Amino acid sequence: MNLPVAQRPSRIVVDLDRIAGNLCAIRAHVGVPVMAIVKANAYGHGLVAVARHLQAQGAERFGVAFVEEGIALRQAGITLPILVMGGIFGHQVSQFLAHDLEITVSSLDKLRQVEAAAEAAGKRAQVHLKIDTGMERIGVHSYSCGPFIEAAVASRWCGLAGVYSHLACADDPASPMTALQLERFLEACGHFTRIGAPMPVRHLANSGGVLHFPDTHLDMVRPGIALYGVLPDAASRRTIPLQPALSLVSHAVYFKVVKAGNPVSYGATWAPSQDTRVVTVPVGYGDGYPRALSSRGQVLIRGKAHPIAGRVCMDQFMVDIGKDSAWNEDEVVLVGHQGDVSISVETLAEAAGTIPYEILVGLNERIPRDYRSD
Ligand SMILES: *Cc1c(COP(=O)(O)O)cnc(C)c1O
């Protein structure tokens, strides 16, 4: 292990080429433009590093959740179109315009707010209309979106860069909800044709839609988690050759023998039935490593999986290596490969009783990120 003294012996290693490779694989599969979703710190992989690499590798556009994320991308030199997918507050519109960010307009009221701000700034806004086809989150219900679409088409201060909706159940290939949402979305888009207006770019598919529902690909897709090589759900199928881009690696900081019956960690919830060897790893829930993995998760040491012993602490946790050997400073893999064995984000999520998304975005800035690309 060769680390400068001031750096933590724990690392998130991000393979940027794999993210770019996943983008290519998705594009080849769908045959339409891809909006690369980089919200929530690029799903924990690092917003700016990921976006810069994808821009250099020929990505066509980005999607984020909040205006702050869009501004951070502009300040980092990202010049591609960026859609902010979250709901807006009227006072934010001038920021969207100043940074050339595309706006999600999700109601007639918000359309009026955007128009007013655009007129005041003397600058046309680029907007995507948000239609609600069953998520019941933001957006105008598909069954009553006629007046909304007409007002947007008539707007002098809004350019219609797109119209979109969001799928609620596409991570499950067996859910009938997706077909229903697609039908509602196409019916809503039909309104542009009925009033003789040009059809904006229609987009609907998240990763689940990209993987399982070709009919939802339409004019553009919006994959997030699939870009990072992770499947959305245990029910999802790997219909595209995607490669996971993130590993989480640390090193053993302590080794001891724990006598039979002596409990390990907070709450004394776990004790070995016979004398055993226990390794301490300097990572904890303060880094976003889930406490729910207490006595449930596994890590890799010397090419073998070993169980977490007792509760995960804020900055450390213990591992029961039984009769195996380990040395201080040995590599410990929390996510990724070691020799022939591996631990995926999907497995970790299942053990923690959550979804892969929450594992990835939970990994916070306390752990340094190392970027790899050729
Ligand atoms: C987060 C998000 C996506 C990407 O979702 P994934 O399941 O990660 O592919 C797409 N569209 C919208 C509106 C989102 O909020």
Instruction: Note whether 207 and 223 are within 8 A (CB).
Output: yes
* Atom in ligand 1 nearest the alpha carbon of residue 357: 8
Picking from 127, 145, 214, 155, the residue whose alpha carbon sits closest to that of residue 185 is: 145
135 in a labelled binding site: no
Token pair 């199928």: residue? 237
Same structural domain, 151 and 223: yes
Please work out whether the CB of residue 207 comes within 6 Å of at least one atom of ligand 1. yes
Instruction: Note whether 31 and 217 are within 8 A (CB).
Output: yes
CA distances from 257 to 195, 275, 328 (A): 76, 7, 13
Q: Whose CA is nearest to atom 6 of ligand 1?
A: 224
Same structural domain, 207 and 278: no
Specify the DSSP element, H or E, that contains 331: strand 331-338
Q: Where are the alpha helices (DSSP H) in 80-215?
A: 93-98, 108-121, 146-154, 177-194, 207-212
What is the structure's pLDDT at 2?
A: 64
| Structural domain ending residue among the three candidates 195, 228, 261 | 228
Low-confidence ranges of the chain (pLDDT < 70): 1-4
Same structural domain, 222 and 257: no
What is the structure's pLDDT at 7?
A: 79
Asked if residue 291 belongs to a domain, the reply is yes
Domain limits for position 195 = 32-228
Same structural domain, 220 and 254: no
Asked if residue 236 belongs to a domain, the reply is no
Ligand 1 centroid vs 26 CA: distance in angstroms? 15
Ligand 1 centroid vs 168 CA: distance in angstroms? 10
Asked if residue 314 belongs to a domain, the reply is yes
Asked if residue 281 belongs to a domain, the reply is yes
Structure tokens at 63: 């999607």
Same structural domain, 202 and 258: no
Ligand 1 centroid vs 325 CA: distance in angstroms? 44
Structure tokens at 49: 């590093």
Same structural domain, 214 and 359: no
Instruction: Note whether 36 and 227 are within 8 A (CB).
Output: yes
Instruction: Note whether 232 and 209 are within 8 A (CB).
Output: no
8 in a labelled binding site: no
What is the structure's pLDDT at 345?
A: 98
Active site residues: 39, 266
Residue 262 identity (one-letter amino acid): N
Instruction: Note whether 232 and 224 are within 8 A (CB).
Output: no
341-366 pLDDT, tens digit each:
999 999 999 999 999 999 999 999 99
What is the structure's pLDDT at 3?
A: 64
Q: What is the CATH number of the domain that holds 75?
A: 3.20.20.10
Same structural domain, 283 and 367: yes
Token pair 């399982």: residue? 212
Asked if residue 92 belongs to a domain, the reply is yes
Token pair 């066509």: residue? 60
Give the list of residues 6+ apart from residue 80 with CB closer than 8 angstroms, or none: 55, 59, 60, 61, 62
Asked if residue 19 belongs to a domain, the reply is no
Q: What is the CATH number of the domain that holds 294?
A: 2.40.37.10
Please work out whether the CB of residue 265 comes within 6 Å of at least one atom of ligand 1. no
Picking from 370, 367, 360, 371, the residue whose alpha carbon sits closest to that of residue 41 is: 360
Coil, strand, or helix at residue 231? coil
Same structural domain, 224 and 280: no
* Atom in ligand 1 nearest the alpha carbon of residue 39: 1
Token pair 């946790």: residue? 317
| Number of independent structural domains in the chain | 2
Dist CA 235 CA 350 (whole Å) = 12
Mutation test of ligand 1: which of 222, 242, 345 has the most ligand atoms closer than 8 Å to its C-beta?
A: 222
* Atom in ligand 1 nearest the alpha carbon of residue 37: 4
Please work out whether the CB of residue 139 comes within 6 Å of at least one atom of ligand 1. no
Dist CA 81 CA 358 (whole Å) = 27
